[in-house]
Amino acid sequence: MYGYAMREDSHAFEHNPARGTSRRREPPPAVLDFYEPDEVEALARAAERGEHRHVSKLSYDAAETAARDAENRQDTELYRIAAYTGLRLGELRALRWADVSLVDRRLVVQRAFSHGIEGPTKSWQARFIPIADQAAEAFARLSTRDEFVSDDDYVFCSRVGRALDGSALRRRYQAAAAAAGLRVLHFHALRHGAGSMIAREADPRWVQGFLGHSSITTTERYLHTKARPDDVERLNRAFAPGPDRSLAGSSHTP
């Protein structure tokens, strides 16, 4: 900014005042926390039961009750798909049925909502990701609804087919987590969970492509967030005593 201000055709500053400042050390990123699959399912069940809604003393007719039940089921599957695809909230809101192929088990992520505007993804690149069984089953259940299932329709939509409101979606998600007895994490923790669980099985470059990270440095945060199930066994094998193990790999002579 100050460099631009020093240009003759802008403000012609004589010097850059930022050059004399000291660099401040940024705090380390917070430790990632996320829900394991059984917790994701508990979250989804709470939403399906409508426990993430405010308690109301109003009575509803059959049509309104059915509409609310459909909204609960949509939230249920949205939480599952978020947790098993790693899509950002803006990407989930912009997802259309044309982007979902259950036959090829492939998802194309090419749009996202940001500040209320639908546009390209954060990396400005489309990515193709495989669909795991859990996510495929959730998509299949959503596709059986009575309306808004054509190619141009949003996968997650309001009663009139419009994109969901992000703020309201976050509030319902946090209410569902609390109702399920879970620690209440940010919605983005569902994406953290997908990346961290996949990192237990896949190499960093694959995880980077799956999540759409522009930098491998971002992906590396997911590599050691929680222990892998076989970590203890791996360490025990490494530290197990054995004949001549103390000399293995050593170039020194006694």
Could you read off the pLDDT of 44-84 as tens digits, one per residue?
999 999 999 887 777 889 999 999 999 999 999 999 999 99
For the chain, which residues make up each domain, given as ranges?
37-222
Q: Which CATH architecture has domain 37-222?
A: Orthogonal Bundle (1.10)
Q: Quote the percentage of the chain above a pLDDT of 90.
A: 61
**Would residue 224 show up in a list of annotated catalytic residues for this protein?**
no
Task: Note the pTM of the prediction, 2 decimals.
Answer: 0.81
**Would residue 188 show up in a list of annotated catalytic residues for this protein?**
yes
**Catalytic pick from 45, 122, 171, 226?**
122
- Mean pLDDT of the region 160-167: 96
**Would residue 141 show up in a list of annotated catalytic residues for this protein?**
no
**Catalytic pick from 80, 88, 93, 96?**
88
**Would residue 222 show up in a list of annotated catalytic residues for this protein?**
yes
Q: Quote the percentage of the chain above a pLDDT of 70.
A: 93
**Would residue 7 show up in a list of annotated catalytic residues for this protein?**
no
**Catalytic pick from 188, 200, 221, 226?**
188
**Would residue 57 show up in a list of annotated catalytic residues for this protein?**
no
Could you read off the pLDDT of 5-39 as tens digits, one per residue?
888 888 888 888 877 777 778 777 777 899 999 99
Does residue 238 have a pLDDT over 80?
no
- Mean pLDDT of the region 118-133: 91
Q: Pick the residue with more confidence: 83 or 236?
A: 83
pLDDT recorded at residue 179: 97
- Mean pLDDT of the region 97-115: 96
**Catalytic pick from 52, 80, 93, 191?**
191
User: What would the 3-class secondary structure string for the chain be?
Assistant: CHHHHCCCCCCCCCCCHHHHCCCCCCCCCCCCCCCCHHHHHHHHHHHHCCCCCCCCCCCCCHHHHHHHHHHHHHHHHHHHHHHHHCCCHHHHHHCEHHHEECCCCEEEECCEEECCEEECCCCCCCEEEECCHHHHHHHHHHCCCCCCCCCCCECCECCCCCECCHHHHHHHHHHHHHHCCCCCCCCCHHHHHHHHHHHCCCCHHHHHHHHCCCCHHHHHHHCCCCCCCCHHHHHHHHHCCCCCHHHCCCCCCC
pLDDT recorded at residue 3: 82
Q: Pick the residue with more confidence: 210 or 80?
A: 80
**Catalytic pick from 52, 93, 172, 213?**
213
